[in-house]
Copies of this chain bind each other. A is one copy, B any other.
Amino acid sequence: MTTAPLSAETKKNFQYASTATVATQMLKRGFRNTAINGIKPLNPKAARLVGPAFTLRYIPAREDLDQPPKPGDPPSAQRAAIEETPAGHVLVIGTEGIVKSGTLGDILALRLKVRGVAGVVSDGAMRDTPVIGRMDFPVYCTAAAAPPSMNSLHAVEVQTPLGIRGVPVYPGDVIVADEDGAIVVPRHLADEVARDSFEQERLEKFVAIRIGQGREIPGTYPPNDQTKADYAAWIEAGEPETWPK
């Protein structure tokens, strides 16, 4: 089922790991095209984002169909996405790269936040970015644009597969995002990728301590037997910020 929530452990593991680490785990499984690059969080302090994808697809606007909203308009796929994206999910919006209009503005973003949605990832633009950029709500996009969506875009459907900047996203895939961009993890791989990402991230924390102390890369990263033993001792000691003291 495409709107199933993540297990608490998988969510925790993905929140611990950087996207750099998750991307390495995906490469180890033969996936080279999982990173959505070129997107940035509007609020750098609200960058960390983990959750299953709920998708919304836009096409270009047509002058007769796409007009400023009036009371009584039939519900659009955009409005469906706003009210139907489950709490904890990530609304992934595909525009085929059109950035002449915002895909969402501050009021719709606020509604998503109030409903408990985890965040938004789009290959398009957002409007009202000065306001969204101050919300405690992760919104990733490629640009800012003042015009409302119907200026240049038409919402077609929700929950179909999308391409986002050349990366496929299927409903239910797990989105993990930070300032490096977003990684798309196919849902059936989520638990194992999350678990291995946690392990790799923890090792790299230790490695960074060692490199900061002046160790050379060879022997430290990847770790040789001595470094592995030191790493085990460091975990046992409670993973302190400095080590050995």
* Interface set of A (CB-CB < 8 Å, partner B): 18-20, 22-24, 26-28, 30-35, 37-38, 47, 58-64, 68-71, 75, 79, 82-83, 96-100, 102, 105-108, 110-111, 114, 125, 127-131, 133, 143-148, 150-152, 154, 156-157, 160-163, 166-168, 178-181, 183, 186, 204, 207-208, 211-212, 214, 216-218, 221-224
Q: Report the separation of the CA atoms of residues A216 and B71 in the bound assembly, to the nearest whole angstrom.
A: 14
Which of A27, A79, A146 is most buried by chain B, counting CB atoms within 10 A of its CB?
A146
* Contact across chains for A22 and B146 when beta carbons are under 8 A apart: yes
- CB-nearest residue of chain B relative to A150? B27
Q: Report the separation of the CA atoms of residues A107 and B217 in the bound assembly, to the nearest whole angstrom.
A: 9
* Contact across chains for B23 and A147 when beta carbons are under 8 A apart: yes
Among B64, B151, B156, B163, which residue has its beta carbon within 8 angstroms of that of A60?
B163
Q: Report the separation of the CA atoms of residues A128 and B214 in the bound assembly, to the nearest whole angstrom.
A: 20
Least Cβ–Cβ distance between A59 and chain B, in angstroms: 4
* Contact across chains for B168 and A160 when beta carbons are under 8 A apart: no
Pairs A–B under 8 Å by Cβ, sample size 19: A20-B147, A20-B148, A23-B147, A24-B147, A30-B63, A33-B62, A37-B99, A60-B163, A60-B166, A96-B96, A96-B163, A107-B208, A110-B212, A128-B180, A130-B179, A144-B181, A146-B181, A146-B183, A154-B168
Residues of B within 8 A of A160 (CB): 156-157, 160
Q: Report the separation of the CA atoms of residues A160 and B171 in the bound assembly, to the nearest whole angstrom.
A: 17
Q: Report the separation of the CA atoms of residues A23 and B207 in the bound assembly, to the nearest whole angstrom.
A: 41
Least Cβ–Cβ distance between A50 and chain B, in angstroms: 14
Residues of B within 8 A of A23 (CB): 127, 146-148, 151
Q: Report the separation of the CA atoms of residues A160 and B128 in the bound assembly, to the nearest whole angstrom.
A: 31
- CB-nearest residue of chain B relative to A36? B146
Least Cβ–Cβ distance between A204 and chain B, in angstroms: 7
* Contact across chains for A151 and B32 when beta carbons are under 8 A apart: yes
* Contact across chains for A27 and B151 when beta carbons are under 8 A apart: yes
- CB-nearest residue of chain B relative to A18? B128
* Contact across chains for A211 and B68 when beta carbons are under 8 A apart: no
* Contact across chains for A148 and B37 when beta carbons are under 8 A apart: no
Contacts A151-B23, A179-B130, A180-B127: A107 and B146 contacting too (C-beta < 8 A)?
A: no
Q: Report the separation of the CA atoms of residues A96 and B178 in the bound assembly, to the nearest whole angstrom.
A: 25
Residues of B within 8 A of A154 (CB): 161, 168
* Contact across chains for B97 and A130 when beta carbons are under 8 A apart: no
